[in-house]
Each structure stands twice: as C-alpha cells, then as structure tokens.
Copies of this chain bind each other. A is one copy, B any other.
Amino acid sequence: MDRFKTILNIASKQTNLGFGLVALLTAGGEQIFSSVAFKCPCNELNFLYGLVFLLVPALALLLLGYILSKKMWILFTGLWHNRAKLCYWKNLATTCTAFLQISSTALVAPSSWLAVALLNGNYYECAMTGTNLSVYNQYLCKDMNFELDCGRKLHMLPCDKRNEEVLRTLRSQSQILGWLVITFIMLSSLLIICLARCNSPISYQQLKFWRAYAQEESELMDLYTNKHAKDLAERNLKSFFNQMEPANITTPSNKDWEKIS
C-alpha cells in the first residue's frame, strides 16, 4: 500500500514520468482489448466497426481525462458567478491558456491509444476493407488474383487469411500512419512547450521555483484545510452535545477564499 502511494506521489510530481505511465497503461490496455474483444464482422459494417474501435475509446479517454483533471475544476468552479470578470480580455486569455494546458494533459492517453492502435493495425485493416470508395477498392484489388467481384469479397479479407498481400498492404499503411501520428504529437508538443517557454517573462530557474512553490502551497493547503475542518467540526459537535455556546473559531470569509483560488 505504502509503496503504491510512493509511486503515485512520484508520478504526480514528475509530470513527464506520469505521462509515460499513462501512455504505457493505455498501450497495454489497447493490446489486451484488441486481442480479446475485437473481432471484425467481415461485412458492410467493417468500416463503422473499425472506426468505432479506433476513435471512440480515444474520445472516451479524452473525456475521462477532463473529468479527472483537478485543474479543470479549479478553473471552472464558480465560473458562472464570476462571469463578469471574463469580460476583461486578459482574464479571458488566461482562462484559454489554462484550458489549453489542461487539454494537452488530457490528450496524452487518447493519442497514445491512437498511436498504439495504428501500429497494431487490426482496426485500420478492418475499417479499410469496408470502405465503399471504388477508387481505393480498385487500388487494393489490383494485387489480388481474382478481379471480378473484388468489392464484395474485400469485406471477407480479415476473416479468411488467404489473401495475405492485401492485408500486408493495409497493415503497413496503418503502421506508417501510426508513426506519423507519433511524430506529429512529438513535434507539436515540442513546439508548444518551446513557444510557451520562450514567451515566459521569467527564467527557467524561477519557473522551477514557482512550480515547486505552487505544489507546496497546494499540499499545505490540503493539510491546513483538513485541520481547520476538523477543528470546526469538533467545536460544533461538542457544543451540540454539551448544550453550551460554541467557542469562537475564525473562518476566512467568502471573499478571502475567492482571492486565493
């Protein structure tokens, strides 16, 4: 239990390590899923089925990432009551930047799902044998021995393993796409981080300092919040059972809370 906690703690501090862990878990899950649950229907549903397996889990992971994101709720809680503040351009820009930051964190799992699924090739194979584009079908059929009725037999390819050539073609296309996706993710994240850092008004060491500060503050905040809540609860219940006036504990006002959030 303790060891598990330590790993979680390290992962949450070292964001890069945490991202790697999430990506690894997603990749493993995809592998298990692809071998257990995925069975190509081999008829006109092929395209829809392959696409659903390729994209919908990625969407679900993205939404899950938003739901589990702590920063997301720091940003949105009480947004409606402070909507007047959003009218200032600067606040709006800050909110947008924060949202982009959250999105980039939430995108780690979906993009690793996509990359692994494309490298694996099963889903793409199934989806592409179900396309109705005659041009693409002609292109695929030209390697096969039987020309007649290729469009109808294309559906059956993932199920009977006789026409290896077409499957090899599709699988290699899928893997090339997968590598392109990975390169695109790497490149865009490098660019985004680079831009964000170049435009920051402070130096690297100072940024590191502020990050460490923010984390320490958040941890201490949790600690103090819990302690304060405990004190308050104890006071109120004691006064309830002993039927006497409660002692006075100063609690920060609503305005103070807002300011530090």
Task: Say whether A21 faces chain B, with CB atoms less than 8 Å apart.
Answer: no
Are A250 and B261 touching (Cβ within 8 A)?
Answer: no
Tally of contact residues, A, Cβ under 8 A: 101
Task: Say whether A73 faces chain B, with CB atoms less than 8 Å apart.
Answer: yes
Bitwise interface map of A from 54 to 69 toward B, beta carbon under 8 Å scored 1, else 0:
0011011001101110
Are A41 and B217 touching (Cβ within 8 A)?
Answer: no
Task: Say whether A25 faces chain B, with CB atoms less than 8 Å apart.
Answer: no
How far does the alpha carbon of A200 sit from the alpha carbon of B3 in the complex, in Å? Answer: 37
Picked from B16, B80, B212, B238, the residue with its CB within 8 Å of the CB of A226 is B212
Are B205 and A260 touching (Cβ within 8 A)?
Answer: yes
How far does the alpha carbon of A67 sit from the alpha carbon of B192 in the complex, in Å? Answer: 10
Are B199 and A225 touching (Cβ within 8 A)?
Answer: no
Given contacts A172-B45, A237-B220, contact A198 B76 (CB under 8 A): yes
A204: B residues at CB distance < 8 A = 73-74, 77-78, 261
Interface of A, secondary structure class, is helix
Are A193 and B67 touching (Cβ within 8 A)?
Answer: yes
Q: Using a CB-CB cutoff of 8 Å, which residues 188-243 of chain A contact chain B?
A: 189-190, 193-194, 197-210, 212-213, 215-217, 220-222, 224-226, 228-230, 232-234, 236-238, 240-243
How far does the alpha carbon of A92 sit from the alpha carbon of B154 in the complex, in Å? Answer: 60
Picked from B41, B200, B230, the residue with its CB within 8 Å of the CB of A168 is B41
Are A172 and B49 touching (Cβ within 8 A)?
Answer: yes
**Closest CB-CB distance, A140 to chain B, in whole Å?**
11
Task: Say whether A147 faces chain B, with CB atoms less than 8 Å apart.
Answer: no
How far does the alpha carbon of A90 sit from the alpha carbon of B201 in the complex, in Å? Answer: 23
How far does the alpha carbon of A222 sit from the alpha carbon of B80 in the complex, in Å? Answer: 36
**Closest CB-CB distance, A88 to chain B, in whole Å?**
18
